[in-house]
Amino acid sequence: MSDNKIKIEVVYALPREQTLLKLDVPQSSTIADAIKLSGLLEKHPEIDLEKGKFGLFGKLSKTDTVLREKDRIEIYRPLLADPKEVRRKRAEEGKAMKKGGGDI
């Protein structure tokens, strides 16, 4: 490895496909730089560097964050359903079932 390069990983997971790329990038690279260098923007046009959410080891980070050796960039997708709303609906359905008794 050259002195002016660092090793990083970029990960992106879809429901049926997970991608983990190991890259050598220039030391002063940002999250946005590394994602561009990874080629994932061409393969997955739904990734939006302006509006998307990204993290380093599970911690939400801005795209202008400068990377360090062995950082792992995570590209997050929007949630399909709000977990709080799903739990609320399940709780309501459970209350309705208990009240009605139903056929057993």
Return the pLDDT at 60.
Answer: 94
Return the pLDDT at 88.
Answer: 83
Pairing outcome for strands 53-56 and 72-76:
antiparallel
Can you say whether the dihedral through the CA atoms of 8, 17, 61, 35 is positive or negative?
positive
The mean pLDDT value for 89-95 works out to 79
Q: Where are the beta strands (DSSP E) in 1-104?
A: 5-13, 18-26, 53-56, 59-61, 72-76
DSSP-derived secondary structure letter, 61 = E
Separation CA 56–CA 72 (nearest Å): 6
Higher local confidence (pLDDT), 27 or 101: 27
Catalogue all structural domains in the chain, each as residue range(s) with its CATH number.
5-100 (3.10.20.30)
Structure tokens at 4: 């002016």
Q: What is the pLDDT of residues 33-66, one digit of tens each?
A: 999 999 999 999 999 999 999 999 999 999 999 9
Task: Please check the confidence at residue 1 and state whether its pLDDT lies above 60.
Answer: no
Return the pLDDT at 3.
Answer: 73
Phi, psi dihedral angles at 80 (to 5 degrees): -75, -30
Is residue 35 packed enough to be buried (19+ CB in 10 Å), middle (13-18) or exposed (0-12)? buried
